[in-house]
Structure 1
Amino acid sequence: MPGITDLDALIAQMRPMLDPKPYVFCTFVSKSLAELAEYEPIGLFAETEGVTAILPLERARELGLAEAEWFRRITLTVHSSLDAVGLTAAVSSALAARGISANVVAAFFHDHVFVPEERAQDALAVLRELTGAA
């Protein structure tokens, strides 16, 4: 089944789901993607400056990185197409209007929004309001 491209349908059908685990964004200059795999990242991205890893808190602790800011993941449980236009903007704009930072990662089936842990419940409420208004 192909992903949805219509913005109104995406917003109306998304069901934001809050992951109970905290995550930490880390960067590594001297570790490869393969080396980082043992830490069970939920996301890896190679940048010129190093490899960014999104690690579960307990795995970040093993590396001495748990003091970094903690984030919670909200999955927009709607199958969005990689060709969809506007979902990231709509979600980030709604959160920005409430002063909540958003780090959006688009995967094949869903978009995932990482928000500061202390604002996770507020962010979930904002996204549910956005869906309810659609």
Structure 2
Amino acid sequence: MSGKTNLSELLKGMTPKLNKGEYVFCTIKDSSLLDRKKVICEFTEAEGITIITTKGYADEQGFTYSFIASWITLTIHSSLEAVGLTAAFSSELTKHNISCNVIAAYYHDHIFVDKKDAAKAIMVLEELSKKQE
């Protein structure tokens, strides 16, 4: 199952879902001791390893972070080959001064926004979706 590629269908059916909790981005040097069940995402860059995890786990481990985020999942199954979805929703969030950090996974797109902007971001995304009807 490869997911949808039609931009209009993707926007119309994206159905944003706010996941419970507070999430943080941390950078670490060694990931061998991580509890993988508590890590949402891990990405290795030349400068270090970035993880996304709950604020609670980061605090337990003494990881530093500077951004507390809310996690929004677009529940439509988007194809990794879809063109324009990220540009469309990020442009709309930009119009409302909402920063977003995006992770495209196999089934869904995941958006991390500042915790204080979560409700507003959901509203903006829902309005964008309704414009497609």
Q: What is the TM-score when the length of structure 1 is the normalising length?
A: 0.93
Cα distance per residue 1:74-129 (max 9 Å; x no partner): 00000000000000100110000100000000000000000000000000100000
Secondary structure, in 3 states, of the residue corresponding to 1:99? Answer: coil
- Which residues of 2 match residues 41-120 of structure 1 at below 5 A? 41-65=39-63, 68-120=66-118
The answer as to whether partners of 1:25 and 1:54 remain within 8 angstroms in 2 is yes
| Paired residue total | 132
Identical-pair percentage: 45
Question: How far did 1:23 drift?
Answer: 0.3
Whether the 8 Å CA contact 2:100–2:112 is kept in 1: the answer is yes
Kindly provide the amino acid, as one letter, of the partner of residue 81 in structure 1: S
Q: CA RMSD in A?
A: 1.4
2:124 is paired with a residue whose SS is helix
Contact 1:24 1:66 in 2 (8 A): no
The CA distance in 2 between the partners of 1:53 and 1:16, in whole Å, is: 23
TM-superposed deviation, 1:36: 2.4
Q: What secondary structure, in the 3-state scheme, does the structure 2 residue paired with 1:58 have?
A: helix
CA distance in 2, matches of 1:37, 1:13: 34
TM normalised by structure 2 equals 0.94
Which ranges of structure 2 fall in alignment gaps of 5 or more residues? none
1:5-16 equivalent positions in 2, closer than 5 A: 5-16=5-16
List gaps (5 residues or longer) in structure 1: none
